[in-house]
A and B are shown apart, each in its own frame.
Chain A
């Protein structure tokens, strides 16, 4: 499980282009619908066994924070 794997999964589940998924952008700015978020969590669990509850994701959370929570390092 690499940073690129998770990024590709996020792009697929949210319909957003990968270049928009910058580490310091917040979930609110990305305007991801709740069903897309739930879909993303489903695939994270299904493909990588990462269990996250929807309430752990806040609108203010950045992708960097999300990656930290998942345990994947964001490349410098």
Chain B
């Protein structure tokens, strides 16, 4: 039996605010960050981070000399660093000698530094200027957030970036878990970040026709699509042996990970592929589908995703589905793309720890194709496990299973 992988630190930033405490409080109390974009941005709605009003508290506190070597930071890296600093501090690992030796970083990002790229393109294609800023490439590369975090924390181990669209950070957590099981690291700082609320990125999403004009209504009748968000979520995964030896506070266990590829269609979800990933996660954790579960659904609020996810869950759980509860926190923090799997797992672990299932927001009434045991009012629920679903364009599915420590 391989070693258990424990969660000893958590950090996040989203439109709901900075830090795990603020995010969890908002979700528990049913607040949503979805609102019109600021006047300087293109018209539309999103769950955006108002960093003009509140600066990233931990990143702001880092001595400038330590940040110098990182170069220009895109908004994407700022989110990743803020969440990473919180997670490592929360784990009691800041300045810990293990960071330099037996620690890895695995971050998931759906795209790179959109702001940096678009500023450069605006100069070149919009203004006809011949040059872009010299740091355009290093600041915007998709590997920058993980590299920046490794520099800031002094992590010399494997520093990897996974990109699996909307499943990126669920993949990062799952693959990070396997690195610990395989003995490649004692600690893996894993999660994801996304900063996609830029003019060009928004225009691309709008053209796809998947964005809701009103709000995000997962599994509801009259749902009209997804709403983008932004931010980051980072967790500290640690081998049980290392965590116990240093007397770490344990938030829970990452017990299982299942991932699959539909190999079917670029954007349409596939029930077989989704079901395969959910089953694989249960098998990996060694936990049957009958174990009562808080299911943090992918729940985007699009016409196609929600019925496909519902059908897959009926197929996997059968009659046991009735004893589970389904939540959909994208209705609060929006679809954070590369960061969404990690923040949903993080919020799910908070819910599991406090035996509180937060409500799905903006629900108008049932859709017969989305027949799930949805949580429509916050309720006390004491499940055995958390199941956190992430499904992505490209047919990439990743499911995580969490458990109390």
* Residues B68 and A39 in contact, CB atoms below 8 Å apart: no
Q: List 21 A-B contacts (CB under 8 A).
A: A14-B68, A15-B64, A15-B65, A15-B67, A15-B68, A16-B64, A16-B68, A17-B64, A33-B69, A35-B71, A35-B134, A35-B135, A35-B138, A36-B71, A38-B134, A39-B72, A39-B134, A39-B135, A42-B133, A43-B133, A46-B131
* Residues B131 and A42 in contact, CB atoms below 8 Å apart: yes
A8 → chain B closest CB, angstroms: 14
What mask results when residues 126 to 146 of chain B are scored 1 for a CB within 8 Å of chain A, else 0? Answer: 000001011100100000000
Cα A48 to Cα B120 with chains together (Å): 18
> What is the interface residue range for chain B against chain A?
10 to 19
Cα A15 to Cα B70 with chains together (Å): 9
Cα A52 to Cα B162 with chains together (Å): 40
Residues of A within 8 A of B67 (CB): 15
A35 → chain B closest CB, angstroms: 6
Cα A42 to Cα B138 with chains together (Å): 16
B62 → chain A closest CB, angstroms: 11
Cα A17 to Cα B65 with chains together (Å): 9
Q: Which residue of B lies closest to A40 (CB)?
A: B134
B131 → chain A closest CB, angstroms: 7
Is chain B's binding surface mostly helix, strand, loop or mixed? Answer: loop
Cα A39 to Cα B131 with chains together (Å): 11
> Which residues in chain B, 86-137, are within 8 Å of chain A measured between CB atoms?
131, 133-135
Q: A-side interface residues toward B, CB under 8 Å?
A: 14-17, 33, 35-36, 38-39, 42-43, 45-46
Cα A54 to Cα B134 with chains together (Å): 13
B113 → chain A closest CB, angstroms: 15
Residues of A within 8 A of B134 (CB): 35, 38-39, 42
* Residues B64 and A39 in contact, CB atoms below 8 Å apart: no
Residues of B within 8 A of A43 (CB): 133
A59 → chain B closest CB, angstroms: 18
Residues of B within 8 A of A45 (CB): 131
Question: Told that A35-B135, A39-B72, A42-B133 touch, could you supply 9 new A-B pairs with CB distance under 8 A?
Answer: A14-B68, A15-B68, A16-B64, A16-B68, A35-B71, A36-B71, A39-B133, A42-B134, A45-B131
Please list the 10 inter-chain residue pairs (A to B) with the smallest Cβ-Cβ separation, ordered nearest first. A15-B68, A38-B134, A39-B134, A42-B134, A39-B135, A42-B133, A15-B64, A17-B64, A35-B134, A15-B67
Residues of A within 8 A of B135 (CB): 35, 39
Cα A15 to Cα B69 with chains together (Å): 8
